[in-house]
Structure formats: C-alpha cells, structure tokens
Amino acid sequence: MLIWLNGPNGVGKTQVAYELHRALAGSFVCDPEHLGFALRRMLPASLRGDFRGMPLWRDGVADMLRTVLDAGAGPVVVPMTVLDPRLLAALVDPLRAAGHEVRHVTLLADRAVLLRRIRSRAETARSFAATQADHSLALLRAPEFARHLHTDGMSIDAVAADIAAGAGLAFTPDPAGPVRRRVRRLGVQLRHIRFDELVGLPR
C-alpha cells in the first residue's frame, strides 16, 4: 500500500509520515523531493526550475515508488505536496494499474494555524511555505484532492492514527513519554531543514 500525504508546506506531512513509520510494521518513508533536489544539483542552471515539471523527475518517482512497493515489506509513506491533480494522477495511476493500493490524504489546517506551524519551524514570512500558504490551501481544498483531513487541534499521533484507521492498518500507540517524543520529533525536523525554503528561494 502507498499512503500519499499531501498538503501545504508546513502543515506537518513529514512529522506525520515518520509517526506512521514508527507505528506501522515494515513501513518505509519515501520522499520524492530528494530525487528532485538531486536532479537540480546535477543540471546546469539553464535547465533547473521546479522539478515537478520535469518528465525525468516524474518518471523517476513513478519507477522508484514501484520498485519500493514491489519489495512488499510494508506500507510506503510519501510526504509530498502536489498542487496539480494531473501530476498526482501521473504519479499514482501507474501504481494502481500495477496492482498496488494507493491511499491519498490531504492534510489541511486553518490559515492561522498553518502559519503558526510554519513559524514554529523557525521559518520567516518570506519562506517558501509562508508565501505559498494561501495559494496551496485554495488549490488543495478542491475535491480532486480528497480525502481531506482537517488537522486543527489534532496532535501528530492523532492525525497518524486517523490515517492508519482509514487505510485499515493496525496502528501501534507510541509508548514513549512526552520528553522522548519531543526529542524524536525535533530530530525529524532538524534532518529535514531545507535552507532555501527558509528564505523563500525557489525550489
């Protein structure tokens, strides 16, 4: 099974992805942005831009996800913002055609809540996530991006448990205390800092 976590930048996709990884036996987090950043580093400036528009990235992501799913170890969790329903279909329809189950969930939050979460990541009002917040929320509320999960007032654990339940997967509650839980999530946050996003540089 593939669980695609969509949503605006800063809503909490990565934290939820790693909470699902902790709670679902055999699961794996596969982030297509890593392939996009690698392509940008390998291409001359004249060929760079939004990697989501690159056929090389799109085809590579589809092949990569199919390879991981074919291994069959457990659910594959993808935390990735996709604002174009045609691109989303191009990425997941081949996986469905190959016989894999795909669950798509869009995490949403009220604008004020989203901006507060973005600030909690030490990002400024000029960051990519902050400047794109209104645009992303407007697009992702469309029915093409259902299922929608409004995360206002929900903990990371609760969001992950809701997604697992909706997919029919057994969710293992976190036995760690609040301090260990905060330390682990801080580690996830630090590992995924992208400095170009902090100052609003295009990706």
pTM reported for the whole predicted model = 0.87
pLDDT at res. 189 = 72
Q: Do 8 and 137 contact (CB within 8 A), yes or no?
A: yes
Of 198 and 14, the one with more pLDDT = 14
pLDDT digits (tens, 9 = 90+) for 139-182: 999 999 999 999 999 999 999 999 999 999 999 888 877 877 77
pLDDT at res. 108 = 98
Q: What is the mean pLDDT of the chain?
A: 89
Q: Do 10 and 128 contact (CB within 8 A), yes or no?
A: no
- Which of 61, 60, 154 has its CA nearest to residue 105? 154
Q: Locate 98 and state its tokens.
A: 């190959």
Mean pLDDT of 68-93: 93
pLDDT digits (tens, 9 = 90+) for 46-56: 888 888 888 88
Please name the residue ranges forming H helices in the chain.
13-23, 33-42, 55-71, 85-97, 111-120, 128-131, 133-140, 156-166, 178-191, 195-198
Within a 10 A sphere around the Cβ of 151, how many other Cβ atoms? 22
Question: What is the identity of the amino acid at 125?
Answer: A
Dihedral angle sign, alpha carbons of residues 104, 34, 154, 158: positive
> Position of tokens 């400036």?
45
pLDDT at res. 89 = 95
Angle at 119 between CA 117 and CA 123, to 5 degrees: 125
Q: How confident is residue 197, by pLDDT bands cut at 50, 70 and 90? A: very low
- What are the structural domains, with CATH classification, of the chain? 2-198 (3.40.50.300)
pLDDT digits (tens, 9 = 90+) for 103-127: 999 999 999 999 999 998 888 888 9
Quick one: DSSP state of residue 104? E
Does the pLDDT of residue 7 top 80, yes or no? yes
Does the pLDDT of residue 195 top 80, yes or no? no
Of 46 and 84, the one with more pLDDT = 84
Does the pLDDT of residue 100 top 50, yes or no? yes
Residue 46, SS3 per DSSP:
helix
Task: Give 81's contacts (C-beta < 8 A, 6+ positions apart).
Answer: 6, 7, 8, 9, 13, 136
Task: Give 186's contacts (C-beta < 8 A, 6+ positions apart).
Answer: none
Does the pLDDT of residue 199 top 60, yes or no? no
Q: How far apart are CA 10 and CA 119, in angstroms?
A: 9
